[in-house]
Each structure stands twice: as structure tokens, then as C-alpha cells.
């Protein structure tokens, strides 16, 4: 999507303000200020989105562009199996967060996977745990992989087919060593471990994803393994959340301006936000009690939909 420099700058400033507030204050579920990767991802996906949508609507409306944003936080991500660096079988979660932009005017979808990681020192990300090294190997090399859960119906997935696998994922390094607020920087997997100096902020990354300058084309009609993976992740995530059933129908953008928090035995399982920025944001989420754990792992998602008048 083409955006004049002035509009890009305004979008970035508003996104940065919303994200920094979320990283400092937490999520609308009344939980304490987040201090871990899951807590910070939850804060961004559920707390920053309503304000971001409201601000972006005001900026984009004069250009004839409508916006709607849906976000989901879930405490577990789908796992994949692949051959690891030492030619042994390996398994890890695919990613912490999926970002998707659908441009209704052009019919194009741009998407990226994000792996969140706390900075070990100010401005520095370190990879030391064996599981973290497996995750990094996945993002750096994108070997063929299988989803562990049958519902995804994807095996021998090859991100190198039909495009650049290196555009599929980035690391989101969250640095709480600054005084305030925490800083979320985006790093190419090839630069991890390393310094976050000069790395773009998450706010800049989201704006560039809207512009099609980062991430990878995931338009379903391309029928690449990448586009099929993005569609499957969204179908399972939104099917589980909004339909509460295992037999999923066609993927539909959720309507409304609500925040819902789903709990199982007093534990937060997932949070959903849907908004077009036209209504006041919810002061408190609507609480939903679940009887059983959802049957399938989904992925935390921010889904931005852009259209015309």
C-alpha cells in the first residue's frame, strides 16, 4: 500500500505510543505489568490494538482508507517437527506471533512470523538455552517441517518454495533494561544473537508491513506453502476462538468492538480484541469461562484489514 511520508510518520508515531503504553501498563484483563515474553505479547496484542485502531482510523480516513483490526492472544503456539542443526529430530513452537495485513483493494495479503525474546542485557539478545537455539535454527534456515497437530493438515512444509524464506520471520527483542518504557525492536534472525542498536521498532515494522516492504506475500491465491501456512494458522486461531468448535468453516473477519478474556480454572487462556477504531475502547473485557482446554494450539495474531469507502 502506498503511503505518503507524512502519513507513514503519523502512523508510526501513533503505533509506537500505543505499543509503549501497552508494554508499560499491561493488558486490559487487570493483570500486573507484564515481565515475561508471553505477558508482553499479550499486552501488545490486546491492549495496544484498540488505541492503535482508533488513532489510525483518524489518520487514514481522509485518504479514503478504512481500517479494522482483530487481535488474539493465546498462551500456546502450534509445534512443528524438523531436522535440527545436528541432523537429529527436533521440535519447537513455530512462533510467538503472526502479523497479517489484508488489503481489500488489491486482494493482497502480507504476513510475518515473530519470535519474541527478552533482551538479556541492555540492547543485547543472547541465545543460550537448547530450546532457544532450536527456535533460532528454525528461523535462520527454515528447513522443511511438519505441524504436530493434524488439524493443520500441513506436512513437509517448504518456505523456500515460491519466494524468499528469509522474509517469513523476524525476532522481536523486548528490552526492559531501559528506564521506561520497554523497547520492542525487530531483528533479522541472521543478526541474532547480537545488538539491537539501529534495529527498527515494532511500530515501524507494522507500518512497513502495511506498505508491503517487510514480511512476505501470503496471498492465498499464490498457493505456496507460506500462504497455506498463514491461512491455516488464521483459520485454526479464529475458528477456535469465535466458533468454539473443531469443525471450522470459512475464515471470516470478526465483527464488533469488544474485548473478551477466556479463563479456564482461573487461568487466562486467551484474549481477543476486534475494533474498527470508530467506538470507544472497552474499559473492561467481557469474561468468558471455559470448561476444558481448547483442543488445538493456535497462534497469537494481529490481523489488519484495509479497505476503501
Residue 31 has pLDDT above 90, yes or no: no
Q: Is the pLDDT of residue 104 over 70?
A: yes
CA 238/CA 244 separation, integer angstroms: 9
What pLDDT does 242 receive? 45
Q: How confident is the model at residue 245 (pLDDT cuts 50, 70, 90)?
A: very low
All three cell numbers of 34, joined, read 507484564
Cell (9 digits) for 159: 518456505
Cell numbers that stand for 146 in this block: 511438519
Greatest alpha-carbon pair distance for the chain in Å reads 55
Q: What's the pLDDT band for 220 if we cut at 50, 70, 90?
A: very high
Q: 67 or 36: which carries more pLDDT confidence?
A: 67
The more confidently predicted of residues 254 and 212 is 212
What was the pLDDT predicted at 17?
A: 95
pLDDT at 131 over 60: yes
Percent of the chain exceeding pLDDT 90 equals 61
Q: Could you read off the pLDDT of 149-202 as tens digits, one per residue? A: 999 999 999 999 999 999 999 999 999 887 678 999 999 999 999 999 999 999
DSSP, res 47: I
Bridging pattern class, strands 89-93 and 79-83: antiparallel
Q: What is the DSSP letter of 34?
A: P
List of E strands, the chain = 65-74, 79-83, 89-93, 97-103, 108-118, 124-125, 145-147, 169-175, 183-187, 194-195, 216-217, 258-264, 267-275, 286-289, 300-308
Average pLDDT of 283-302? 69
Distance in angstroms between the alpha carbons of the first and the last residue of the chain: 16
Q: At what angle do helices 202-211 and 5-25 cross, to 10 degrees?
A: 140
The chain-wide mean pLDDT, for the chain, equals 85
Give how far Cα 110 sits from Cα of 37, 61, 77, 123, 199, Å: 24, 21, 20, 29, 21
pLDDT band per the 50, 70, 90 thresholds, residue 243? very low
Residue 261's pLDDT is: 59
Q: Which three cell numbers stand for residue 137?
A: 535454527
Structure-block grid coordinates of residue 258: 469488544
Pairing state between β 145-147 and 108-118: unpaired
Per-residue burial over 271-309, b if 16 or more Cβ lie within 10 Å, else e, is bbbbbbbeeebeeebeebeeeeebebbbbbbbbbbbeee
Strand partners, 231: none
- Given a cut of 60, whether residue 244 has pLDDT beyond it is no
**Percentages (nearest 5) of helix, strand, coil residues in the chain:** 35, 30, 40
The residue that leads in pLDDT, 3 or 280, is 3
Is it the case that residue 51 has pLDDT exceeding 50? Answer: yes
Give me 164's grid cell: 524468499
Amino acid at each position: 500500500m502506498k503511503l505518503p511520508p507524512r502519513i507513514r510518520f503519523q502512523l508510526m508515531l501513533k503505533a509506537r505510543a500505543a505499543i509503549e503504553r501497552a508494554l508499560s501498563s499491561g493488558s486490559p484483563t487487570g493483570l500486573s505489568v507484564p515481565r515475561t515474553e508471553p505477558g508482553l505479547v499479550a499486552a501488545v496484542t490486546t491492549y495496544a490494538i484498540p488505541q492503535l485502531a482508533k488513532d489510525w482510523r483518524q489518520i487514514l480516513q481522509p485518504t479514503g482508507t478504512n481500517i479494522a483490526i482483530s487481535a488474539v492472544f493465546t498462551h500456546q503456539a502450534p509445534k512443528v517437527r524438523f531436522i535440527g542443526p545436528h541432523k537429529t529430530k527436533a521440535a519447537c513452537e513455530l512462533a510467538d506471533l503472526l502479523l497479517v495485513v489484508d488489503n481489500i483493494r488489491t486482494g493482497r495479503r502480507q504476513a510475518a512470523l515473530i519470535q519474541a525474546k527478552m533482551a538479556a542485557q541492555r540492547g543485547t539478545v543472547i541465545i543460550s538455552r537448547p530450546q532457544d537455539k532450536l527456535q533460532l535454527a528454525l528461523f535462520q534456515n527454515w528447513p522443511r517441517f511438519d505441524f504436530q497437530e493434524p488439524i493443520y493438515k500441513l506436512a513437509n512444509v517448504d518456505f523456500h518454495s515460491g519466494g524468499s524464506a528469509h522474509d517469513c520471520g523476524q525476532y522481536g527483542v523486548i528490552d526492559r533494561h531501559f528506564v521506561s518504557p520497554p523497547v520492542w525492536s525487530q531483528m533479522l534472525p541472521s543478526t541474532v544473537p547480537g545488538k539491537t542498536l539501529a534495529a527498527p521498532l515494532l511500530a515501524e515494522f507494522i507500518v512497513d508491513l502495511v506498505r508491503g516492504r517487510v514480511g512476505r506475500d501470503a496471498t492465498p491465491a499464490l498457493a505456496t506453502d507460506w500462504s497455506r501456512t498463514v491461512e491455516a494458522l488464521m483459520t485454526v486461531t479464529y475458528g477456535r476462538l469465535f466458533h468454539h468448535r473443531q469443525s471450522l468453516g470459512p475464515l471470516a473477519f470478526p465483527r464488533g468492538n469488544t474485548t473478551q478474556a477466556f479463563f479456564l480454572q482461573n487461568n487466562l487462556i486467551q484474549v481477543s480484541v476486534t475494533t474498527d477504531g470508530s467506538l470507544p475502547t472497552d474499559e473492561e473485557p467481557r469474561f468468558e469461562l471455559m470448561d476444558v482446554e481448547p483442543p488445538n494450539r493456535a497462534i497469537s495474531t494481529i490481523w489488519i484489514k484495509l479497505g476503501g469507502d
